[in-house]
Structure 1
Amino acid sequence: MSPRVTRRALIAAAGAAALAPATTFAAPARAAVPGTPLAPIAALPPGAPARHLFSQAEQRFARYLATLPGIVNDIDTGTNPDTYGHLAGGWSRTPAGPTNARVQEHVFTMSWYLANPRAWNPYHRDPALLARLDAALFHYLRLQHADGSFPEYSGTEHGLAPTGFGIGYLARTLENLRRADVLPETRGRVGTALRRAVGWLLDRDNPIWDVPVEWSNQVCAGLAGTAITLQLLPDSAMRAAFTERMAYFARYAQSPAGFFYDPTGSDINYNFEVMLPELAELYLRSGNADAVRMARLFAEWFGHQMLREPDGSGWLTYYAVSARTASAAYDETIGDEDRQTLGSAFIPVVPDLAAFYTSREDKAAARAAWAAEPGPAPALPKGDTSPRIVAHATYPERLPSRAAKQAAVARLPYLRSTDFAEVRDDELTGQQYLYVRRPGYYLGAFFGPRPTTTVKAGPGFLWHPAAGTLVHAQQTTTGAWGTATGGVPDAASTLTAEYLHGTARWTGARITPGGTPVVVRYRTTTGVATTLTLDRTGLTRAVRAPGAATEQVPLVLLPTDTVTFADGTPVGYDTNAGATATGLVLRRGATTLTVSWGTPLAATVGTSSRTYLRDGRRRVHVLRVPHGGSLDVRYAVS
């Protein structure tokens, strides 16, 4: 897209056109009556969906078109009023039972194909699709509680996720019904349900607004849906409440460190792939300035978390601090299965975000290759569909050019500077995120209360500008980077830290360390004390435990690496090895990482099934060094 395309133009393309009614077509005005037999929609003709019919920007619709008959024809149209209209079959969410409102979110997917004419869309204006969509909406709306909320895991639950996401899907569905000018009675019921759901979401006394605002992605989805609702159902009181809650959300749903709370910590996946796209939709629909400020702070945070592989293959992430999921890597080029593309709408106002998205040129090449594959676009398997893909595909893309992406990569904090240290502090939770860049390496670490047991504390990664990621902490106890006693690593504990610049206390404010080392002293409640010293050429972990312990180091190895113990014993790629040695040497190209512990100890390296990126070449191997309880380990990079 041209850089001149404005947010107003994006809104017009994505939403305003949907408000203009089209010519009505012959179809039942009211189909959703339990006991009324409904015909299935027809199967696609042989050879459909034909790949060559889809423009590159709309290829994401192809597999959902192939899947649509399976989704629509699984709708219950029997005589039981409690299940009539239920989208059975487990297409999207679990549990798949009839009291889970999230199961019904594919009403948007159905409504899009109903309302939007394309040469490749045989279901535009399809009466059978319309009747089954109306049945699905009948069931969806009957699940709403009197207070406006929807259930998910039980019929009596007043859930944030089903209500927050539901507002968006119902609002987008209403857009499509208006565009097709069908089901006026149902449209009225959807409008009523939206007003009630938005009222529940924006209620200041709703516990979802407790500080900090947890599950930020779910609240943001509701706010984005509210922005769409305000376009469809203008209401001055609703708009005032939306503006006030959005300001509150910006203040309390995002950590001062930059991440979005999910639930009370960071999560790479939910922050980048769910929350940021929802925030982008909110911005596109409302122009809210708070959304831009949130995206800008997040970009700064994310630039510390994403570890660029120098060969351009993609990114490893500091996922050991992710509170919920295990998104440990992102390929340089991501196909149309991605969930994050809509977040690129912020790039014109937050250019640093361009670093993390597939470039326009690479996306175009991937799509050209997809179009050239033989055979029709295949259907998606049950359980592997999401209406978010279709919903977000309705917006024009703002992916960066390759040059803009490379410029943004060059602005990453650890590439822009070769000597800094800072602690990004979260005063609400006590979490502390340490980032130290020295001329030869970059290290991140976490201290303070862990938001969930998934998070692993202490050092999380060691990266080199030419070699890439050398040490990468896992979310498992056996793959954490630290000191294990009794089989439990210190990383699975609350680590209380103090920070020094040399011998002087350091507040954590950003500094240029220069020739003076950064020192972090931290300990567990069980008496394992560690002094981490980060100087210009390497780092030292000095560990003092009350008894026998094991140092474990999750190394990331490539098949082309040369790895040997200090006594000369080789360590093969994807193999196990052991030696009584004083250290280990890893050579990657012109870079050497030397891990030394000074005294001969029986050390091992064990391979794992954990690999990164599409090529699977980067594999985690865990170095383990048992010792009596006192050990100094030096990591020198040259």
Structure 2
Amino acid sequence: MIHGHPVPRPQLSRRRLLAVAGAAALLAALPGAPALARARAAGLPDLTPLPPGAPDRKLFTPVEQRHAPYLVMLAPMVNDIEDADPGTIGFFKGGWWRSPAAPYNARVQEHVYTLSWFHTNQRPWNPYAGDPALLAALDAALGHYLRLQHEDGAWPEYRRDEHAMAATGFGMGYLAKTLELLRRSGTLPERQAQIRAALHKGMTWFLDLGNTKVWQSRLVYANQTSSGLAGAALALKLDPDDELRGRLSEAVKQLAARGQSPSGYFYELSGSDMNYNFEVMLPEMAETYHLTGDPTLVSMARKFTDWLGYNLVREPDGSGYIVNVAPSTRTSARFYDEVRPDPDRTALNSLFVPEVPQLGAFMSSREDLAAARAAWAADTAPIVPPAKGDTSPRILSHGIYGERFPRRHRRAVAIASLPYLRKRSFTELRSDLGQDHVFVRRPGLYLGGHFGTRATSTVRTGLTFLWHPEAGMVVHSLNDNNQGCWATVPAGGRPDADGVLPAEYFDGEPGGTAWTGHHRGHDKPFGIRYRTPDSSVRTEVTVTRDAVRRVVTTTSPATEQIPLILHPTDRLTFTDGTAAAYRANTSATADGLDLRRGDVVVRIRWGTARPAVLRYGSSTYLRDAKRLIHVLRIPHESGIDVTISFG
């Protein structure tokens, strides 16, 4: 039994029994490195591809539909394993998973879990259970993987002599899961012993709190540290060790102390990153919690869920969430759909939902996911495998722990309690590491901002999004993109948002009374004043109940840049009468632009008629990809006064 799923020994035909018997005789004749020796002599046997039309979608249980694309991919990946070079026998060559696709990169070998799953799990749709060719490939791949481990227990990633936290942490998880499968099915007993020894060495290295490769005073890559705790939790469940279990318990406490900001996010390069936080870190924590029950992890999940409540902004039509992505330090996840069928990298987060019901707001509902899976089963289209280089053993490995998705009515309760939906007015400032995250809700809008220092050059500072309760997201600033951020762009081409922007906050208009953290009602303005370090661009922002005003002063000619999210049904007209269209470039000389979306009119005004350009970009949002970024650019000589209001 693997976490509630039976793993029967493969039932083989007489022909396959004879093949296995022959392979077993060969393996017995070559002890210690059976696949390596055989491959040197004759090469690994090919795995037979699926016949045309296979597999049948209807044969998959809903929770195992995620395996279908990987089943189609299995033979090509297995047949790409190195079997000619004696020094790298068993290497998953060709870039199936992780880069660099080099023999020294242990992360490439994490697909040993994928091979072991298909070999040890008999299903009506899985013709590879017990396949001797698959077994030989798995044995060779494990041999290469284990030979990469350093004597201290670490594995390399970017160079052979590297002792890498990610390769060790994630690797322990996949090896522990592979060991569990092999042990339950009685497969490759010698490899089992080697994996067990490798895991013990890996845990000894990883759970040493004095190991600064893993345990910095403030974690640099919290998701990688978390991965090792999940791997250790499973390894210790399989082979208990009191000393290492004690280290794991202390490590969880240190993860909370060193890996999570007071603001709520998890550290990724001294800042926040939505993709790594929500799609990697939180699922690794959920796995560790499932295996250990440590309440510290629930507290961390609850704190992070509160952070999500300000940074995932829901579209009023219920299509999904737009991410406040400008502050993300490493990646550029822009949105999360309302329903996320397999493969969904956030699915394991559902294990926290019973203890953290508010997290259910950001997960698919049980009923919606069931409907999506039923539609998948009824689809008659061929199953498309993931592209080479776009595969992930995470998709399969997270399926072993079950699901705790919220029911639709409970999810609705969680959604209704989101701060910007529950309240019509608040001002929230969260600061850490010299970085300010600002969230301003007024009856007619919700505004985000990120000021102060930057964690990485990927981050964009300044105002980051503007949302309306009926129109949804109107302005959305991208990260790692100087053409799609909300900014002032001097003649040199580098926007002020691509740099440090220290800010001051005011209880009222900028320059008045300093803000003390207290909010005084729906109609009370809130002011922000920020500047570039050399003061070449100075900006004053005033937020009222239904408008945002930006007064910009520059020391040289510049361009005001506003990234708008437009819908195909939006109607746009410049104040000189020029009509602008969705997915079209439009120029006009005007003092404003009106955007009509349903019953809402968004008025953008800049006071004086100037030549302005609206150009569409390539960034789309949500599964239907209908929301599309269009950037409004308005040049000026030394300053501009822009107001965006809703009516």
378, 381, 386: which one aligns with 2:384: 378
Aligned to 1:265: 271
- Whether 1:336 and 2:342 are equivalent positions in the alignment is yes
| Counterpart Cα distance in 1 of 2:518 and 2:184 | 53
SS at match of 1:64: helix
User: Match of 2:35, as an amino acid?
Assistant: A
Which residue pairs with 1:449 in the alignment? 453
1:519 matched to 2:524? The reply is: no
Q: Is the 8 A contact 1:335 1:363 kept in 2?
A: yes
Matched residues in 1 for 2:523 and 2:45: separation?
A: 77
Match of 2:103 among 93, 98, 107: 98
Structure 1: runs of 5+ lacking an equivalent: 1-11
How far 1:242 sits from its partner (Å)?
Answer: 0.8
1:406 Cα offset (Å): 1.7
Distance in 2 separating the partners of 1:616 and 1:515: 36
Provide the secondary structure at the position in 2 that maps to 1:32: helix
* 1:561-606 Cα distance to aligned partner (Å, 9 max, x none): 1211222222122222222222221111111111112122222212
Distance 1:110 1:430 in 2: 46
Letter of the structure 2 residue corresponding to residue 61 of structure 1: H
Distance 1:188 1:496, change over 3 A: same
In structure 1, the residue matched to 2:462 is: 458
Distance 1:301 1:453 in 2: 22
**1:5 alignment partner in structure 2:** none
What's the counterpart of residue 498 of structure 2? 492
- Whether 1:146 aligns to 2:146 is no
Residue aligning to 2:543: 534
1:506 aligns with 2:515: yes
In the aligned structure 2, how far is the partner of 1:346 from the partner of 1:186? Answer: 34
Does the 8 Å CA contact 2:571/2:595 hold for their aligned counterparts?
yes
The alpha-carbon distance between structure 1 residues 496 and 237, as it changes in their structure 2 partners (threshold 3 A), is same
CA distance in 2, matches of 1:569, 1:73: 59
Residue 75 of structure 1 aligns with which residue?
81
Deviation at 1:401, TM superposition (A): 1.9
Report the CA distance between 1:135 and its aligned residue: 1.1
Structure 1 residues 479, 112: closer, same or farther in 2, change over 3 A?
same
Shift of 1:395: 2.0
| CA drift at 1:166 | 0.3
Give 1:630 shift.
2.3
Kindly indicate whether the alpha-carbon contact (under 8 Å) linking 2:424 and 2:522 is maintained by their aligned counterparts in 1: no
Say if 1:22 and 1:179, in contact at 8 Å, map to a contact too: no
Instruction: Confirm or deny: 8 A CA contact 1:421 1:513 kept in the other structure.
Output: no
Structure 1 distance, partners of 2:291, 2:305, is 21
Question: Any residues of structure 2 matched to 1:270-289 within 5 Å, and which?
Answer: 270-289=276-295
1:390 aligns with 2:396: yes
Equivalent residue number for residue 43 of structure 1: 49
- Does residue 218 of structure 1 match 2:207? no
Deviation at 1:293?
0.8
Q: Which residue of 2 aligns with 1:414?
A: 420
Give the drift of 1:118.
1.4
Report the Cα distance in structure 1 between the residues aligned to 2:135 and 2:608, rounded to whole angstroms. Answer: 75
Assess if the C-alpha contact under 8 Å between 1:422 and 1:510 holds in 2.
no
Range with bigger deviation, 227-236 or 361-370? 361-370
Distance 2:627 2:49 in 1: 43
Shift of 1:512: 4.7
Residue 592 of structure 1 is matched in structure 2 by 601
Cα distance, 1:128 vs structure 2? 2.4
The letter for the 2-side match of 1:412 is L
Distance in 2 (alpha carbons) for counterparts of 1:21 and 1:114: 10
The C-alpha deviation readout for 1:247-292, integer Å capped at 9, x for no partner, is: 0111111111111111221111111111111111111111111111
Q: Return closer, same or farther for 1:592/1:378 CA change in 2, 3 Å cut-off.
A: closer
User: In structure 1, which of residues 150, 155, 159 is the aligned counterpart of residue 160 of structure 2?
Assistant: 155
- 1:247 and 1:127 map into 2 onto residues whose CA distance is 44
What's the CA shift for 1:63?
A: 1.4
- Percent identity between the aligned chains? 50
- Whether contact under 8 Å (1:607, 1:621) holds in the other structure is yes
The 1:483/1:17 distance shift into structure 2, 3 A limit, reads same
CA distance in 2, matches of 1:591, 1:13: 53
Do 1:563 and 1:586's aligned partners in 2 also have CA atoms closer than 8 Å?
A: yes
C-alpha RMSD of the superposition? 1.9
Query: Structure 2: which 5+ runs fail to align?
Result: 13-19
Deviation of the 1:411 alpha carbon: 1.1
Match of 2:185 in 1: 180
Tell me whether 1:602 sits opposite 2:611 in the alignment. Answer: yes
Distance in 2 between residues matched to 1:41 and 1:557, nearest whole Å: 49
1:480 to 459, 480, 485: 485
Higher relative contact order (CA 8 A, sep 6+): 1
Structure 1 range deviating more: 110-119 or 372-381 = 372-381
The equivalences for 1:196-275 within 5 A come to 196-207=201-212, 208-275=214-281
Other-structure match for 2:632 = 623
* Alpha-carbon distance in 2 for matches of 1:321, 1:615: 25
Match of 1:191 among 183, 196, 199: 196
Shift of 1:173: 0.6
Is contact 2:9-2:120 (8 Å) kept? no
**What is aligned with 1:580?**
589
Q: Distance in 2 between matches of 1:539 and 1:380?
A: 44
Residue in structure 2 matched with residue 89 of structure 1 by the alignment: 94
CA–CA distance in structure 2, aligned partners of residues 251 and 114 of structure 1: 41
Distance in structure 1 (CA, Å) of the matches to 2:431 and 2:477: 21
**Superposed displacement of residue 99, structure 1:** 0.9
Give the whole-Å Cα distance in 2 for the aligned partners of 1:359 and 1:272.
Answer: 17
Counterpart residue identity of residue 519, structure 2: I
* Residues 227 and 284, structure 2, Cα contact 8 Å, conserved in 1: yes
Which residue of 2 is the match for residue 14 of structure 1?
3
Q: Which moved more, 1:245-254 or 1:328-337?
A: 328-337
Q: What is the rounded CA distance, in whole Å, between the counterparts of 1:331 and 1:66 in structure 2?
A: 26
2:333 is aligned with 1:327:
yes
**How many residues are paired up?**
622
Distance 2:90 2:346 in 1: 31
Q: Which amino acid aligns with 1:372?
A: A
**CA distance, structure 1, for counterparts of residue 94 and residue 584 of structure 2:** 43
CA drift of 1:504 comes to: 2.6
SS in 2 for 1:556: strand
Query: What amino acid does structure 1 have at the position aligned with 2:133?
Result: A
Q: For the residues of structure 1 that align with 2:586 and 2:391, how far apart are their CA atoms? A: 43
Residue 563 of structure 2 corresponds to 554
In 2, Cα distance between equivalents of 1:88 and 1:479: 37
